[in-house]
Amino acid sequence: MRAWLTDKVNGGLVRVFLIVVGLFWLVPTVGLLVSSLRSPEDMNASGWWKVFSEPSQLTVDSYRKLLENGDITDSLLNTVLITVPATVLVVVIGSLAGYAFAWMEFPGRDWWFLAVVGLLVVPVQVALIPIAELFGRLGLFGSTLGVILFHVGFGLPFAVFLLRNFFAEIPRELLEAARLDGAGELRLFFRVVMPLGGPAIASLGIFQFLWVWNDMLVALVFTDADSQPITVALQTQVRQFGNNIDVLAPGAFISMVIPLAVFFAFQRQFVSGVMAGAVK
Amino acid sequence: MQSATGAAKAPRHRSVTGTRKTVAALFLLPALVLLGALVVYPIGYSVVRSFYDQSGDGFAGVDNYQALFTDDGIRTALKNNVIWVVFAPTVATALGLIFAVLTERVRWGTAFKLVVFMPMAISMLAAGIIFRLVYDQDPDKGVANAVWVGVHDTFAESSAFPKAHPGRKSPLVAENGGFVTGATVRAGDPVALPLVGVAPDQLPDGAKRAVAARAEPGKVTGTTWQDFTRGKGVGTLGAPDPDELGYAGMRIEAVEDGKVVASTKASADGTFTLPASADGARLRLPASNFTEPYNGLDWLGPSLVTPAIIGSYIWMWAGFAMVLIAAGLAGMPRELLEAARVDGANEWQVFRRVTVPLLAPVLAVVAVTLMINVLKVFDLVFIIAPGSSQDDANVLALELYRKGFAEDQPGVASAIAVFLLLLVIPVMWFNVRRLRREVRR
């Protein structure tokens, strides 16, 4: 009886605790969303929570102004133009290498693979100055291609690591059967390995997509005013935070919409990508 | 984890296709070229560059490394990085563990996990903007201070008249932060306690037009009000005019020989009444009426900025710890927990003696991953720390960016880069060793 009672009380406490923590985690984001839906005048006059007593304050004016702002829309487009190729390239190049490491024979194969794994934890900061100098010489500095290449380079160790391990699990018989049917190396890769690697490729794709979409540092160094993504466009406004809240709040929210949509749509793949990347 | 630990009894390393080496090379070429040019070459370049001076022409020996320990900016960054590496991973891992264990006991655990994990999906820039808002100094804007001030004011009363002071011809003189009448008061003789200096929008919401108090036999009556009317020479000094508002809620004490004999609060029109015991005393408006309102903590000021930003990091990454630990929990042998319970262990003992030790490897992986991640933290500091306290919030990754791209000191910046790389080499070695065992089978 007493144990039953303590169980009930503890269960109640656990619930209350988790609800409080959950609110704690939600409030900051709700604050941003509400702030993006108020006029700058209202933002200056009172806290965003006032909106709950005066719902009439809600307005999409900031969003309308933002979408009429050419700099912001251009930078959003740039984000897409950087993220999509950087993701596709990492998946394709990573798959090719992952397959070679898993199923081809060549001297020093395992050592090469271990070397790639070693590169997993290299901080991007190490490459900023050397690559800036290199891109300067090659005329890639400030170009979209430059940023894409950088993201591909730093996305590859994880891609190769993840895909090689996944491809190695493909049953040998499947590959041999396809081989006996006369499939060549390329056909084997595109028709058998890539489709079977679907789950791992999805995890990798989502992971890389979010990684590049959310990046600010690399783009801050390598893009110029014409090629900058949304993160860089927004950070220029941060120095005057109070005055630019009507750009920053809706801008930040718009930049979050796609990652959040991807996150909610592909939670499982995202989680398995995160777990596989726990060493990155 | 997607691992390579398969049932590989047959020698799976033999190629099924009898690959020629050229084909293998073609499959590998794009990846190896990009990795070589974009990851390996920069490591070498940084190491070499760190031994040359800022222009890159002269050999500088270890000067750039010496700067790591002598340059004020870098030293602050180093100190802050130590704080980051010690606190951020531990707190995030601890919270992740608590959340993972507790969510197993409620039906809506998945929903909770989703909420806590969600910040992982957004950019550090967006998180930075979110927390810049949270930490706004003004309690009417930043939710952190709104809550903090709310809690504070529940326990300590705030005052309504911070800047009030006697104007010309006021009977009041300053004393210990408050004001006291120069002369004693008498029952039946209304007192005027005029002050000036409260901004109109700062007056208490209920304040009404001030009226002169009526004399009451056997009682001390009076008015305290804002003796100021906009416009030069308008109204009379020392008496309430039609546009002047009463100091609603002002606290008034009657003091005799240093002791408070009676006290009251002014009503909305500024009038007050004290009992006969106040007869012959001086009236005092105590200091509590005039203290500055509490404005909360300066979250982004020099002393709190690093803990504040660490807080935002934990908001982003506790979910990561939670999800990995929850996966570890799910794979734990339940019989062990049940056995411990049957043996009479309470929940805390089960947690402490069984769950945590069994999870130790997972906890280690989570903590190490977070440490590597924390070493590289840049965006959050760059965005959240305002210009005025960015020096105090400095971290190595930010200092590297500043030295390399704002202050044109690529030599020092390269030394910082090499230093960061050295810090992650143990993890690199650990990863390779762990994988070598798997690959070699």
- The predicted pLDDT at position A7 comes to 67
Q: What is the least distance, in Å, from the CA of B121 to any CA of chain A?
A: 6
The beta-carbon neighbor of A274 closest among B126, B139, B323 is: B323
What are the boundaries of each domain within chain B?
45-136+300-439, 172-289
User: What is the per-residue pLDDT for A245?
Assistant: 80
Q: B376 and A275 in contact by Cβ < 8 A? A: no
Give CB contacts under 8 A, 24+ apart, made by A59-66: A62/A36, A62/A37, A62/A38, A62/A246, A62/A247, A62/A249, A62/A250, A63/A36, A63/A250, A63/A254, A65/A246, A65/A247, A66/A247, A66/A250, A66/A251, A66/A254
Q: Cβ neighbours of residue B418 under 8 Å, at least 6 residues apart?
A: A126, B46, B47, B50
Contact B123 A118 (CB under 8 A): no
CB-CB under 8 Å, A104 with B23: yes
- Residue with tokens 């430059």, as numbered in its chain: A146
With an 8 Å Cβ cutoff, is B47 touching chain A?
no
**CB atoms B375 and A123 under 8 Å:** yes
Q: Cα separation of A187 and B17, whole Å?
A: 12
pLDDT tens, position by position, B213-225: 888 888 888 888 8
Nearest CA in chain B to A199: B2
Picking from A157, A166, A213, the nearest residue to B2 by CB comes out as: A166
Q: Is B115 on the interface with A (CB under 8 A)?
A: yes
Average pLDDT of the residues in B357-381: 89
Q: Under an 8 A CB cutoff, do A274 and B428 touch?
A: no
Please report residues of B whose CB lies closer than 8 A to that of A245.
Answer: 133
pLDDT of residue A87: 95
B355-366 pLDDT, tens digit each: 888 888 889 888
Contact assignment for A126 to B3 by CB distance below 8 Å: no
pLDDT tier, B230 (very low <50, low <70, confident <90, very high otherwise)? low
Report CB contact under 8 Å: B4, A168: yes
User: Which candidate from B6, B118, B124 shows the least CB-CB separation from A216?
Assistant: B124
Query: Is B134 an 8 Å CB contact of chain A?
Result: yes
Residue type, B436: R
What residue ranges do the domains of chain A occupy? 2-59, 63-276
pLDDT band at B408 (very low <50, low <70, confident <90, very high): confident
Does B25 sit within 8 Å of A248, measured CB to CB?
no
Looking at domain A63-276, its CATH class is: mainly alpha
What is the percent of chain B where pLDDT is above 70?
92
pLDDT of residue A127: 92
Measured in angstroms, the CA of A191 and the nearest CA of chain B are apart by 15
Note whether B147 contacts A: Cβ–Cβ < 8 A: no
pLDDT for A2 equals: 57
CB-CB contact of B299 with B144 (8 Å): yes
Interchain contact B299–A (C-beta under 8 A): no
SS (H, E, C) chain A: CHHHHHHHHHHHHHHHHHHHHHHHHHHHHHHHHHHHCCCHHHHHHCCHHHHHCCHHHCCCHHHHHHHHCHHHHHHHHHHHHHHHHHHHHHHHHHHHHHHHHHHCCCCCHHHHHHHHHHHHHCCCHHHHHHHHHHHHHHCCCECHHHHHHHHHHHHHHHHHHHHHHHHCCCCHHHHHHHHHCCCCHHHHHHHHHHHHCHHHHHHHHHHHHHHHHHCCHHHHHHECCCCCCHHHHHHCCHHHCCCCHHHHHHHHHHHHHHHHHHHHHCHHHHHHHHHHCCCC
Contact list, A274 vs chain B (CB under 8 Å): 120, 320, 323-324
pLDDT at A52 over 90: no
**pLDDT beyond 60 at B11:** no
Nearest to B15 among A105, A124, A166 (CB): A105
Residue B231, pLDDT > 80, answer: no
Give the residue-averaged pLDDT of B103-121: 88
| Segment B122-144 mean pLDDT | 87
Q: Which residue of B22, B112, B122 to mutate against A (max A Cβ within 10 Å)?
A: B122
Find the closest chain B residue to A42 by CA distance: B141
User: Taking 60 as the threshold, does the pLDDT of residue B210 lie above it?
Assistant: yes
Under 8 Å CB-to-CB from A220, ≥6 apart: which residues?
A: A231, A232, A235, B401
Instruction: Residue A263: list chain B partners with CB under 8 A.
Output: 118, 120-121
B141:A47 CB<8 A: yes
CA pair distance A214, B373, nearest whole angstrom:
15
Q: Give the gap in angstroms from C-alpha B248 to the nearest C-alpha of chain A.
A: 24
Nearest Cβ partner of B115 from A14, A25, A172?
A25
Return the residue of B nearest to A168 by Cα. B4
pLDDT tens column, A232-247: 999 888 877 777 888 8
Kindly report the CATH number that applies to the domain delimited by B45-136+300-439: 1.10.3720.10
Question: What's the mean per-residue pLDDT of chain B?
Answer: 83
Is the pLDDT at A62 greater than 60, yes or no?
Answer: yes
Q: Check CB contact of B33 with chain A, cutoff 8 Å.
A: no
Among B residues 56-85, those touching chain A with beta carbons less than 8 Å apart: none
Q: What is the distance in angstroms between the Cα of A47 and the nearest Cα belonging to chain B?
A: 4
User: How many angstroms away from the CA of B151 is the closest CA of chain A?
Assistant: 16
Per-residue model confidence (pLDDT) at position B197: 79
User: What tens digit of pLDDT does each residue of A154-213 get?
Assistant: 999 999 998 988 888 888 888 888 878 777 777 888 888 888 888 889 889 988 999 999
Check CB contact under 8 Å for B369 and A166: no
Question: Does the CB of B398 have a partner CB in chain A at under 8 Å?
Answer: no
CB atoms within 10 A of CB B428: 18
Chain A nearest CA to B389, separation (Å): 12
